[in-house]
Chain A
């Protein structure tokens, strides 16, 4: 187990370093400069380059960069809000995004589990088909379409929830974005729960448990669902990542001041440092989630660990 964890942690660290390198190289290749202003003379530009360390050799810049990243210092923003440290920009925005993301995952998992459970227990009935249809639609329709539909109906037509994010009313403003983001999670979890539950329900230990005379309640929740839950953890990791992508667009639609909209702005205004910093944070989050899920999965189900080591 220790060996497995160590191996996963090492891979993660390497991945993160590779990402920093890739980000750095890509940024060097980017067209345009943050100092595109034609009014600047070459001398002024040179002064600016010197100020931000852009005149030094690439290797030195990279070295500085890695050290700064590790310290959590992402430099300052060039364009979006001049000379504001990026860590400060992110600090106010990250909690908003994480909140909405968390609500979305929680909501999606809960509803998905319930739907999948109903579908599996009422297999081959109308309810099952209904749950399957809902989950197929949830997988197929992008989250921003749901966002637009919600925004049009609940926001624009009926005015139940605010169409645009309002930080004074954060709770109500988070409802529609969270619901829109949760659809994909919900659908995937529902599909997965259904197939896992059907498999578990057909297993011999369930028959045994039933012949012992256990109540339906105990059967489903203590025996079946618990075992079905294990594999569901694995799908959660990629789902969280899809959520990150979805959040960019959903944040744009609802004008949420989160990291997603910051990234979009930074991309459009060539703000190198912000793009690098956010890509780094996204990657770090992603790698961290993958690591936690892999280790968690190894802890819960020893077969996985062995399987991976033997490969």
Chain B
């Protein structure tokens, strides 16, 4: 036992970080560098770009449009030119009944061999490909509009509350606390009952509920920054409160704000989908990802292919925005904890 040391060196390789010395770079260059080094964030970004591109050009890629019905061609299974050999896209579907299951191919039965519904057609004979991408377009518009409006409201509220402090802050924070105490679900459902359902209403409802998180973050950042020298310097030079808040402090907290916007987009998509599912969403014949899932749900045991594309698009979209948000958060503030 003589050769055994009293102390064993602890090996914690992951804790030994070598300080990396970089030449001084501009803030944005560094952010970009860190962002593109995180693989998951880049993957998220690529998926978002892909989905956005398809949401723009997708509905125009074939001859169908999202509203026109062809009742003689309802519930056609997906069929893609060139991929007919693959059982997923050959236009046939297996229907199981009480007497057993049988495979039918409606395209061949009706002699419509020149017809291709890439994602199939729904119960009214509408092309699911077109509807999916116009639905993605609607969902994206709603989510991005809501997130941007939230950003403006929440940011201003938080910055003003944090900057002035004292009684203003006290009153504003109590109002916020009470507002935050009301479940979002309750606000949104009640609002949608009063107002006419539609895209604007949904954006409005999302706007009313989602700004709280944003205002918290901007207030906290403001509290951190307002005691710093550059604010004092600006004030000494005669800058007014408005100038200090929006021209001096705001550019310095843009990182956390952008990150928060990225996280509020999936929340908005989710809330919209939820509302559609409950029956308070976009009015027909327009569609969103949520209403497509809701439609597909009605026949998902007999025609599962109708519900799969919108679910995949929505899940990918939410996943990508979450990954992008994570990546941005780390890129802007590498010291920050993961949650």
A interface residues, Cβ below 8 angstroms from B: 11-12, 14-16, 18-19, 22-23, 26-27, 29-31, 123-124, 136-137, 139-142, 144-145, 148, 152, 156, 191-192, 194-196, 199, 202, 207, 210, 235, 241, 244-245, 248-249, 252-253, 263-264, 267-268, 270, 275, 279, 282-283, 286-287, 290
Among B82-131, those with CB < 8 Å from A are none
Is B181's CB under 8 angstroms from A283's CB?
Answer: yes
Which chain B residue shows the least CB distance to A18? B178
Is A156's CB under 8 angstroms from B301's CB?
Answer: yes
Chain B residues, Cβ within 8 Å of A195: 337-339
Given A136-B323, A152-B300, A156-B301, the answer on whether A286 and B318 have CB atoms closer than 8 Å is no
Bound Cα distance A279, B184 (Å): 10
Which chain A residue shows the least CB distance to B319? A140
User: Contact mask B172-189 → A, CB, 8 Å, 1/0?
Assistant: 001001100111111001
Is B274's CB under 8 angstroms from A249's CB?
Answer: yes
Is A264's CB under 8 angstroms from B278's CB?
Answer: yes
CB distance from B101 to the nearest CB of A (A): 12
- The answer to whether the Cβ of B54 comes within 8 Å of any Cβ in the partner chain is no
Of the candidates A18, A30, A199, A282, which one forms a contact with B185 in the assembled complex, judged by CB atoms under 8 Å apart? A282
Chain A residues, Cβ within 8 Å of B307: 148
Which chain B residue shows the least CB distance to A132? B40
Bound Cα distance A212, B315 (Å): 48
Bound Cα distance A245, B178 (Å): 19
CB distance from A36 to the nearest CB of B (A): 14
CB distance from B48 to the nearest CB of A (A): 13
Chain B residues, Cβ within 8 Å of A268: 279
Is A249's CB under 8 angstroms from B278's CB?
Answer: yes
Bound Cα distance A274, B308 (Å): 35
Bound Cα distance A287, B181 (Å): 6
Is A275's CB under 8 angstroms from B278's CB?
Answer: no
Of the candidates A123, A235, A253, A287, which one forms a contact with B14 in the assembled complex, judged by CB atoms under 8 Å apart? A123
Given A11-B177, A136-B319, the answer on whether A22 and B182 have CB atoms closer than 8 Å is yes
Chain B residues, Cβ within 8 Å of A196: 339
Of the candidates A11, A30, A139, A156, which one forms a contact with B194 in the assembled complex, judged by CB atoms under 8 Å apart? A30
Bound Cα distance A283, B184 (Å): 9
Is A249's CB under 8 angstroms from B277's CB?
Answer: yes
Chain B residues, Cβ within 8 Å of A252: 277-278
- The answer to whether the Cβ of B273 comes within 8 Å of any Cβ in the partner chain is yes
List 10 tightest A-B contacts by C-beta distance, closest first.
A15-B181, A140-B319, A195-B338, A140-B318, A279-B186, A26-B190, A15-B178, A245-B185, A141-B315, A18-B178
- The answer to whether the Cβ of B36 comes within 8 Å of any Cβ in the partner chain is no
Is B178's CB under 8 angstroms from A14's CB?
Answer: yes
Task: List 30 A-B residue pairs with CB atoms under 8 Å apart, sorted by A's residue number.
Answer: A11-B174, A11-B178, A18-B182, A19-B182, A23-B190, A26-B191, A31-B193, A124-B14, A141-B318, A141-B319, A144-B274, A144-B293, A145-B311, A145-B314, A148-B307, A156-B301, A191-B339, A192-B339, A199-B337, A210-B10, A244-B185, A249-B278, A263-B189, A264-B279, A267-B193, A267-B278, A275-B189, A282-B185, A282-B186, A286-B181
